[in-house]
Amino acid sequence: MAEPVTQKWSSQIPGGPLNEREFRQWRELLEHRVGIQITEQRRRFLQTNLSLRMKEIGCGDYQSYYNLVVDSTSGLMEWDTLVDRLTVQETRFFRDPAGFDLVRSYLRSRKPRSKAFNLWSVGCSTGEEPYSLAMVADQELGQSSPCRWSVTASDISQPALSKARAGKYPQRKLQTVEPDILETYFKCEEGWCQISDYLKDRVCFIRMNVLDIDKSPLGDFDIIYCQNLLIYFRRWRRKEITNHLAKHLAPGGLLILGSGELTDWHSTELTRISSESSLAYMKQKA
Ligand SMILES: C[S@@+](CC[C@H](N)C(=O)[O-])C[C@H]1O[C@@H](n2cnc3c(N)ncnc32)[C@H](O)[C@@H]1O
């Protein structure tokens, strides 16, 4: 996957190459606070993004920048900016068609027996995934139907969440979206498409670190959709997060992960269900 390096390495950028101690220090901080693993292959990515940020704020060396991030109270704001730079936010509408097919058939089959559906997009990035879920929910549950539904969408990146809340996307990012969906849920002009207020009102964006799910006050969900997030974590952590997600699944609920993101995970309460390219589990009914 391409890393979002914003600028080519140049001699004017402060910091220079990260030495072993500095690399280890930053790597440990990121893994401890965010869970993401910075492998040796991503060292250059870390170095480039740290240096670019240090240049922006006029900080000359990695250690001073590290101290700023961990020590001072203003470090909290700086940390937010840095996390945004160091997380991969690549996403698109209806990214995994098989995953959305699962959501569609689940809602269709449950609709006659349920009055309300709560969906959760975990690691929602700039909103394309939760809005896609909302479009499927609206199509299946209908605007005039007695079924209520809502989508909760969470991410660690504040800038990504701001873009998600704005719900405004360049038209070129919607080339793969079906024309009838475009017509129903977007208003497009001058190369930009705005999500309809109707849909926006049903999607609630919140800031949440997946490492803190166990402390979250969120209730239970009928569908939890978490794709392309666990891949950045170590295997033991993927399992731990999935255990926490499973606890937030309502009886009979559906958990959808990305294909290959979790291996060797078992739960006494959840059963694996077959899907073309997604990894999905269903919780036993009460
Ligand atoms: C590659 S995007 C995936 C977006 C979307 N789920 C998809 O599949 O298209 C990964 C997202 O996970 C978020 N993320 C990374 N670490 C996180 C953490 N510890 N807690 C919450 N979100 C995190 C990033 O900010 C980013 O928006």
pLDDT value at residue 9: 40
Q: Which of 125, 203, 237, 277 to mutate to test the pocket of ligand 1 (most atoms within 8 A of CB)?
A: 125
pLDDT value at residue 159: 95
Q: Which of 33, 81, 155 to mutate to test the pocket of ligand 1 (most atoms within 8 A of CB)?
A: 155
Contact 123, 205 (CB under 8 A): no
The fold of 20-86 is: Chemotaxis Receptor Methyltransferase Cher; domain 1 (1.10.155)
The residue extents of the domains of the chain are 20-86, 97-283
Q: Is the CB of 87 under 6 A from ligand 1?
A: yes
Q: What is the pLDDT along the chain (286 residues), one digit of tens a residue?
A: 444 444 334 445 677 899 999 999 999 999 999 999 999 999 999 999 999 999 999 998 999 999 999 987 879 899 999 999 999 999 999 999 999 999 999 999 998 888 899 999 999 999 999 999 999 999 999 866 678 999 999 999 999 999 999 999 999 999 889 999 999 999 999 999 999 999 999 999 999 999 999 999 999 999 999 999 999 999 999 999 999 999 999 999 999 999 999 988 999 999 999 877 789 999 998 7
Q: Nearest residue CA, atom 2 of ligand 1?
A: 89
Q: Is the CB of 83 under 6 A from ligand 1?
A: no
pLDDT value at residue 145: 67
This complex has an ipTM of 0.99
pLDDT value at residue 115: 85
Q: Is the CB of 36 under 6 A from ligand 1?
A: yes
Which whole-number Å values give the CA distances from 124 to 48, 269, 282, in the listed order? 25, 26, 21
CA nearest to 237, candidates 262, 268, 206: 262
pLDDT value at residue 18: 92
Q: Is the CB of 228 under 6 A from ligand 1?
A: yes
Helices H / strands E in the chain, number of each = 10, 10
Residue 95 CB neighbour total at 10 angstroms: 17
Domain 97-283 matching CATH 3.10.350.10: the answer reads: no
